[in-house]
A and B are shown apart, each in its own frame.
Chain A
Amino acid sequence: MAVKVAFWQNSDCWGCHQSLLNVHLGLLDVLPALEIVYWPAVVDFKYDSLKNREDGEILVGFIEGSLRTNEDIEATKLMRQKCQIIISFGSCSCYGNVHGLANQWNKDNLVKRKFTEVESIADDSQGEPFEHVPGFIEKIVPIDDIVKVDAYLSGCPPKPEQIVGSILFLLGQKPFPMNELAFCNECSLNQEGCILDAGKICFGPITSIGCTLKCTNNGGVCVGCMGPSKTVSSKIDKLNNIARDLSSISSGDKKNLFEFLTLFLNVPLMSGFDLKGDILKQINNKGNIETPLANLPPSIEEIVTKLLNYLRDNRNFHEISNVCDTCSRIIGSKSSMIRVKRDYEGLPNMEDCLIEQGYICMGPVTKAGCGALCINVNAPCTGCYGQTKWGVNQAERFTDTILKNFNVTISKEDLLSQVKDHIGTFEKFTLASNREFKGGK
């Protein structure tokens, strides 16, 4: 039976929805499982229809957007009332997003600039609109300041596969297993140059065929995104050997392991998704797994169990997962930061770490999940997935981190003084989560 879901948008840009729609053909698989009872961007149900539903009638509510108006607050509370599970969908509802930068000013200053001062106001109509508009709240706050949130899906926007993965995960719909044959059967490295032969983790032996083989063709490893296969390839012994002792795997392999857990088992832990059914959370809380991994072939189950046991024994595993863990650039490169460069300066090379080339890149202090999309096109990370640690001075934490782990040869004081815009650089997406900027709180 289809599951009732509702999508609500507070003050924002529609981008999380566009990201979901970016799944395009993939939507065809998901849609039949959903009964969309509210989604103003796409379907024609009006606000009253949501109000008239029974409390808790809707299984999952996705709340997107920042809390900027009184209407946003009211609607968020209404959604909480009507939905069993509330997902804080995207960095606006998780952290306030760039709109939180407005918390540097009082509401009156914001209103004055927009409705009185701007240069293009051309008649005497100045002043804040007041009729049939909801009014603004003083400071933006994340939605979990006003309602209980069951799961967080951060990112600006969250990646399409994370959103769909989360929905499928909630619905328990991901088919296990997928295709008959394993990835190795189609891999161009199967006969010669196999990654496993070199002692590196590759999940080809237990992953379904059906992809474009892009990863191994481009020098990467198979991270299992197609899910389990029905049969395994003969290379499984090599993978089993590595899985037996995971303590010595390289940081690159850890990264691959992380992606594997997300994609193969459909545990969206990289997105900060956190629910009772989340395998990682079960391990963290109770030390064992309650969710049965249905229908996995025994040899695959054996490997998966080893990986999960490793997680159980290394509960801080997810803390290593920052953007750098998913970035292919070299840390400890031939470059070194001798002064802070502005983004418009020069053009960085594509191989060396951007920090070591002199740019402020928030990768080391930003939660993983994006796959380093910005850095892949030569633009530094600015932190849209949220911080890996909260409640601390982010400028200092960033500086301490890069002084310790990267080729940086200027002092902390110099670095901090060379960055002219601390708030926009270090707390661009999260200022509304910073208590100092919440006013009365």
Chain B
Amino acid sequence: MVKEIEVEPITRLEGHGGLRLVLGDDGKVQDVQFNITSTRFFEKFCEGRYCEHIPRITPRICGICPIPHHLTPTKAVENAWGVEIPTPALKLRKLLINAKQYSSHLLHFYALAAPDFLLGPMADPALRNVVHVINKMPEVGAMALKMMDFGQKLCAAIGGKSVHPISAIVGGMKKPLDEDIRDKFLKEIDEQIEFTKKTVDIGLKIIEDYWDVVANVGIVPTYYVGLAKNGVHDIYEGDIRIVTPEGKKIDYDVHKYLDVLGEHIPKHSYATHIYYKPAGYPEGIYRANCLAMINAADKMATPLADEALKAFRDKVGKISHHTFAYHWARLIETVEAIELIKTYLEDPDICNPDCKTLDIEPREAEGIGVTEAPRGLLLYHIWSDAEGICKKMNLLVATNHNIAGIEKTLMHVAKQIFEDKALDGLKLPTPWIK
């Protein structure tokens, strides 16, 4: 008898999704679907809007990563209109996107992922959540909250609002950071770096505890897509970098994206499957997000993060297909984010009022903007008319870069579980929270 297993909804996920597994009567996995059950048509209703207003609409695509969705269309319009922004604005934007990276990665680590590991995969679902973690490990919980709070407050200080920021404008930023506010964050930065180190220690201990899982479950060779500037890890700008399953790295100018990134419309998901076009679908399925970024990078942009990258590569190799290594990769990126936050906070330019160019003239042209959002590559393609009104928009959002890769991983793991019974002999640690 054919058996269907449904998980509805997938929890601790940003967005709407379900999982559907079909097992044949021979016990073989016949089908795995990752169903994303909503979409809102931003690519249509941005038509007719002022191009400079798009960055004030699109943050609503994601309340966790509204900052990349604010900055990337701004960059796309600047690209279309040929606008150069002043250096202080560039630095403010980089500080802003790293503040977001920091709080989002920590939210992911502590609120979305940690409950699985701290309570163990067999724990009561009613307790397997961040609320319980905070109750049982109040010191770690308080530290985690203080870290997220720092990141979100910094986002709000620069962006005006942490959720759905407004301060970036075509041509730069609407306002520099006030010095007294900057000083407040500077006072806390060293404590945050210490917190980050403690978080890395917790993460590495978890990885060590669960090494049997990390090394044996969900090892899925795929392509990877990331952003790198001259080979260096960068979340604000650079080339699209594809990593082949064998570890070969290929850089593409973002303006060539239509040659590189293809969308496949699955019959069972509103989130499309984006893949590496030259390899075709499904062969060109890739994964995005932190592990992809770490696989893509030649080096990290900051010293502590680069050390962390070396330690990672010593353990898992130059290219990692370990799905559970995403958590580790995320911590490496978190270290880089807090180091960059410190660098930019110490740069007087972020308080420099010369943060917006006045030399802006709309023109009929198309422009492309790209950043790396906390969940993956983010690309906006905007067509402006002569008055600067949006004629058309195309979007390749972070999550969609990962959907096909996630589904492929789910299929792999489902086979491991149901066909190979590979989980049976796995060594699991005694949970920290019992």
Chain A: residues with CB nearer than 8 A to chain B?
9-19, 21-22, 24-25, 27-28, 31, 36, 40-48, 66, 68-69, 71-72, 97-99, 101-102, 104-105, 109-111, 113-115, 118-123, 125-127, 129-134, 156-157, 342-347, 350, 373-374, 376-379, 382, 384, 420-421, 423-425, 428
Interchain CB contact under 8 A, A40 and B174:
no
Q: Which residues of B contact A114 (CB under 8 A)?
A: 39, 41, 43-44
| Minimum CB–CB distance for B48 against chain A, Å | 6
Q: List 12 A-B contacts (CB under 8 A).
A: A10-B38, A13-B64, A14-B14, A15-B63, A28-B141, A36-B131, A45-B125, A47-B9, A109-B44, A121-B272, A377-B167, A384-B164
Residues of B within 8 A of A110 (CB): 41, 44-45
Nearest chain B CB to A427's CB is how many angstroms away? 12
With both beta carbons as reference points, the residue of chain A lying nearest to B129 in the complex is identified as: A43
Please give, as numbers and ranges, the residues of chain A lying within 8 Å of B174 by CB-CB distance. Answer: 347, 377-379
What are the interface flags for B33-73 relative to A under an 8 Å C-beta threshold, 1 for contact and 0 otherwise?
A: 10111111101110011101100110111111010000000
A131 and B11 contacting across the interface, CB-CB below 8 Å: no
Interchain CA distance A119-B14 in the complex, whole Å: 26
Bound form: Cα–Cα A125–B275 in Å: 13
Q: Is the beta-carbon distance between A13 and B62 smaller than 8 angstroms? A: yes
Of B40, B48, B270, which contacts A424 at CB under 8 A?
Answer: B48
Contact A11 B50 (CB under 8 A): no
The reply to whether B163 and A121 form a contact with Cβ atoms under 8 Å apart is no
B37 → chain A, closest Cβ, in Å?
6
Min Cβ gap B24→A in Å is 18
Query: Given A41-B12, A69-B37, are A156 and B164 also a contact pair (CB < 8 Å)?
Result: yes
Compute how far the CA of A331 lies from the CA of B48 in the bound complex, rounded to whole angstroms: 31
Write the chain B residue with the least CB distance to A218. Answer: B180
Task: Pick the residue among B48, B171, B381, B389 that contacts A119 (CB under 8 A).
Answer: B381
**B152–A22 touching, CB < 8 Å:** yes
Chain A residues whose CB sits within 8 angstroms of the CB of B145 once the complex forms: 24-25, 27-28
B261 within 8 A of A: yes
Residues of chain A contacted by B63 (CB below 8 angstroms): 12-19, 157
Contact (Cβ within 8 A) B45 A131:
no
A44 and B37 contact, CB distance less than 8 A: no
Contacts of B57 in A (CB 8 A): 98, 101, 424, 428
Please report the C-alpha to C-alpha distance between residue A15 and residue B70 in the assembled complex, in whole angstroms. 14
User: Chain B residue with minimal CB distance to A119?
Assistant: B394
Residue of B nearest to A70 (CB): B37
Contact of A345 with B360 in the complex, beta carbons under 8 Å: yes
Contact A42 B129 (CB under 8 A): yes
Least distance between A382 CB and chain B CB atoms (Å):
6
B265 near A120: Cβ-Cβ < 8 Å = no
Given A11-B38, A13-B62, A102-B45, also A125-B264 (CB < 8 A): yes
Nearest CB on A from B276, distance (A)? 10
Output the least CB separation between B145 and chain A (Å): 4
- Given contacts A14-B62, A44-B126, A424 and B8 within 8 Å (CB-CB): no
**Contact status A68-B40, CB under 8 Å:** yes
Q: How far is the CB of B260 from chain A (nearest CB, A)?
A: 10
Of A9, A43, A350, A384, most B-chain CB atoms within 10 Å: A43
Closest A residue, CB atoms, query B147 = A24
Asked if A44 contacts B11 (CB within 8 A), the reply is yes
- Asked if B337 is an interface residue, CB under 8 A from chain A, the answer is no
> CB within 8 A of A129: which of B162, B175, B269, B394?
B269
Q: How far is the CA of A10 from the CA of B39 in the complex (A)?
A: 11
Q: Mark B161-180, 1 if CB is under 8 A from A, else 0.
A: 11110110111001100000
Taking a contact as CB atoms under 8 Å apart, the answer to whether A113 and B149 are in contact is: no
B389-A421 in contact (CB<8A):
yes
Partner of B111 from the list A21, A31, A350, A376 (CB cut-off 8 Å) is: A21
CB atoms of A71 and B61 under 8 A apart: no
Residues of chain A within 8 A (CB-CB) of B267 are 129-131
